[in-house]
Structure 1
Amino acid sequence: MEQILPAYNDPLFSILLIIIISLIIALATYGWGLYRQQKEQGNLLKFLDKFESTECALDTTDMPFEPHMLKPLTLLAKAFENSGEYHKSINIYLYLIKNISDDLGKLELMERLGNTYLHAGFLERARSIYAEILRKKPRNIKVLYELGVVYEMMHKYDKAKEVIEPLEMLGEETHALTKFLELSEIKSSKTISIEEKVKKLHKILDAEPTLYREIVNTMLQLDTRVAWEIIDPKRLKEVMDILWFLPNSQLDLDTITSNTQLNTLYYAKGYLQKPIVESGIFSLDMLATARKSGFEQGDLLFSYLCKKCKQSFPVSFRRCPNCMAINSVEVEEKIAKSSPKTDYSLL
């Protein structure tokens, strides 16, 4: 009886075997990828379920989704956010994230959701959203910045500083941000003495002059005498509102009377009697001129422009409330009729 042996040395058999193995690997890879995708989708849905809110005014439970709805609903969510109706905006973003299939689109919508939570003051929720985005796309520079803002607002400055390293690795210039965080940490510290805070603030100002306005304001709260030593009349425009609202008890008359710009400011304010009109700031000189002519009911009103996003706000800010930029505030003033005077500052 003749024994039949497999033709292992047959080239056709070898090719067939390679094809079969390749098909098995391809099917296994496809199946594993499909499983991972379904698992990832399930994990995302579980993650988003944590943010469901019964307080949302829009009921999207039974709303059918069509791809053409993405753009108008996104615009509607943004409109709700801009008008302060954050709960409606959040509900729409959650609905869209759960229904669209595009992974990049999901991440973009999750970032918008995180921004909405941030502006609404839900810091822990914003942190969770940003952390989830970075888990999927760790090189997202914008989200890294936003996560740092969240940690800063939570006064977790060590965590905020941890975000700086990956930003530097991605080629970002972080010197100003680093000094800004150092300043914020010093201001909020309950353990550092006033003398030590003053020394540290001097060093920060030397290293980062763009923080001048914030450091002057902080110094005036810590040590008025030292604060007047760092006030630069050439940069009067940057801190004019801060000096305008200072109470009499915090004025340094020796410094003021020895400088024409400061002298003009406080003559226009009504604190000094000797008329001087030499500040170089149009509205301030106009007010001083009016007072010199006998009109004493003038005052200055201030608004605050973000130099980055060009949004204007009625109160000063450390970070722009709209774009979260640092060192972007520009003081704008206009002459107005004075209201009943007080001797205390709101700053």
Structure 2
Amino acid sequence: MNIFFLEFRDPLFSIIVFFALIFIITFLSYWWGRYKRKEDYKHLDRFLKQFRSLPTQDELKELVSRGELSQKSWMLLAASYSKSGNYEKSIDIYNEILKQPDNKEQIEIMYLLGKTYFKAGFLERSKQIFLEILRKNPRTPQALETLLLVYEYMRDYKSALEVLEPLDELKKDVTCDTLYLKALELLNNAAVDSQEKTEKLIELYLKSRRMSYMIFEYLFRVNPKLAWEHFDSSESENLVDLLWNLPTDSLNMDVISSSSYLRELYTARGDINLSLKSSVFEFDALINLRGKTNATLSFEYICSSCKQLYPFAFHRCSSCHSIDTINVEFSLTKDYHRDFGEESNSFQ
């Protein structure tokens, strides 16, 4: 009997018992977790069977009011509908959640509803929701920023500029937005003639040295001579597609000959013969293959903020809504506009 008690008090025995308890607890926890997950999946599967075909608004109202899912789960489902482009169902869910009594996240849900209306193209409804949010909570920067986008899409640039005032008071940097909206307002003002527009755009550019793509895109189109007079050669790489697509009779040889990049660009295009090679691969290839290949440059546009790629130029990124973040990328491609009757090798 004494031997038994000695073994019971033995430290090694205690360690064995300790690890045995840990094993038993871990084993039970593991199987209990698996059981709970299985039950949760069954419940979720039963719930999702109701969405094999999209519910009507009345069915949706009943499902939300039934309370089988938490409000957070409904919001995730609404966000999923919105992400997949089914804005109607997303809007229905947000509207039904807002009808629930004692909603503590009303402002957040109203904001999500306003954004969904904006994505769906219901700009007036989106505007009204954001104005209501700001009436209750004036210092809501997210609502102000999205309302700014709504006004811009509605081409109500005066109201958009007014939104910048409270954003400025909230210590948000609105310098670029102000310049961008002033330029947009000017470009879309039919009462202002092209000469006055060019003068004011140049004034905006010289004050800030920003929005160069937007401003020179317009200047090179309506008044190339004036554009070259105010052109900064350091901007050549950012405006390479505009420069490449300029008509030959719009070129300024004095400015071109003073810049190595422009000399290489227009030698590669075949307008002049002032460079024998280039550090830019595409230019160098075109310079060395002049008259021997049917090739040109194609352009893509990348947002430097979110890295989204576009086949067309932009001034505000439609993905992250950043302004003046356009980066131009180019590559060699076959020139389909060249006369195929000419004697030249196809560029593969």
TM over 0.5: yes
Contact 2:277 2:288 survives alignment (8 Å):
no
Rounded to whole Å, the distance in 2 between the matches of 1:76 and 1:340 is: 49
Whole-angstrom CA distance in 2 between matches of 1:322 and 1:246: 29
* Counterpart Cα distance in 2 of 1:180 and 1:91: 35
Aligned residues with identical type, % of pairs:
32
Q: Give, in angstroms, the shift of residue 75 of structure 1.
A: 4.0
Q: Which residue is equivalent to 2:248? A: 248
Q: Which residue of 1 aligns with 2:286?
A: 288
Cα deviation digits, residues 265-287 of structure 1 (max 9, x gap): 22323334554434x5x343344
Letter in 1 for 2:289: R
Change beyond 3 A, Cα 1:103–1:244: farther
Who is 2:305 aligned against? 308
**SS of the residue 1:310 aligns to:** coil
Q: Which amino acid aligns with 2:252?
A: D
Q: CA deviation at 1:96?
A: 3.6
What secondary structure is seen at the aligned counterpart in 1 of 2:298?
Answer: strand
Whichever of the two has the greater Rg, that structure is: 2
What are the within-5 Å matches in structure 2 for residues 6-45 of structure 1?
Answer: none
Matched, 1:169 2:166: no
Indicate whether 1:90 and 2:91 are aligned.
yes
Kindly provide the CA deviation profile for residues 269-306 of structure 1, in whole angstroms up to 9, marking residues without a partner as x: 3334554434x5x34334434525x6523332222222
Equivalent residues, number: 282
Aligned equivalent of 2:268: 268
- TM-score, normalization: structure 2? 0.72
Q: How big is each residue's C-alpha offset from its partner over 1:29-73, in whole Å with a ceiling of 9 and x where there is no partner?
A: xxxxxxxxxxxxxxxxxxxxxxxxxxxx65242231237454454
Contact 2:296 2:334 in 1 (8 A): yes
Deviations 1:245-277 (A, max 9, x none): 233343334433443312222232333455443
Question: Relative to 1, partners in 2 of residues 1:307 and 1:78: Cα closer, same or farther, differing over 3 Å?
Answer: farther
Question: What secondary structure, in the 3-state scheme, does the structure 2 residue paired with 1:333 have?
Answer: strand
Q: Quick check: 120-129 or 80-89, which moved more? A: 80-89
2-side partners of 1:130 and 1:283: how far apart? 50
Match of 2:134 in 1: 134
SS at match of 2:237: helix
Contact 1:264 1:277 in 2 (8 A): yes
Structure-to-structure mapping, 1:189-200, within 5 angstroms: 189-200=189-200
Cα separation, 2, equivalents of 1:81 and 1:332? 31
Please give the alpha-carbon distance, in whole angstroms, between the structure 2 residues aligned to 1:305 and 1:72. 35
CA contact (8 A) 2:294 2:338 kept: no
Distance 2:301 2:55 in 1: 35
Look up the match of 1:103: 104
Counterpart AA for 2:126: A
User: Which piece of structure 1 moves more, 195-204 or 85-94?
Assistant: 85-94
Change (3 A) 1:90 1:290: farther
Per-residue deviation, 1:119: 2.8
Q: For the Cα contact (< 8 Å) 1:283–1:335, is it kept in 2?
A: no
1:241 corresponds to which letter in structure 2?
A: D
CA 1:243/1:122 → structure 2, altered by over 3 Å: closer, same or farther? farther
Q: Relative to structure 1, is the Cα distance of residues 299 and 147 closer, same or farther in structure 2, using a 3 angstrom cutoff?
A: same
Alpha-carbon RMSD: 2.6
Using the TM superposition, name which of 119-128 and 66-75 deviates more: 66-75
Of 302-311 and 162-171, the range deviating more from structure 2: 302-311
How much has 1:312 moved relative to structure 2? Answer: 1.8
Give the letter aligned to residue 211 of structure 1: M
Q: 1:247 to 1:85 in 2, by over 3 A?
A: farther
Question: What is the distance in 1 between the residues matched to 2:101 and 2:323?
Answer: 35
- How far apart are the structure 1 equivalents of 2:249 and 2:151? 36
Deviation at 1:114, TM superposition (A): 2.0
- Measure, in 2, the Cα distance between the counterparts of 1:269 and 1:88: 52
Identify the range of structure 1 (333-342 vs 115-124) with the bigger mean alpha-carbon deviation: 333-342
1:97 is aligned with what amino acid? Answer: L
How many angstroms apart in 2 are the aligned matches of 1:269 and 1:296?
12
Is residue 335 of structure 1 aligned with residue 325 of structure 2? no
Query: Residues 82 and 227 of structure 1: is their aligned pair in 2 closer, same or farther, counting only changes over 3 Å?
Result: farther
Unaligned 5+ segments in structure 2 are 1-53, 340-348
Measure, in 1, the Cα distance between the counterparts of 2:296 and 2:331. 8
Divergent runs of 4+, >6 A: none
| 1:233 to 1:295, Cα distance in 2 relative to 1, 3 A | farther
> For residues 73 and 238 of structure 1, do their structure 2 counterparts lie closer, same or farther at Cα, with a shift above 3 Å needed?
farther
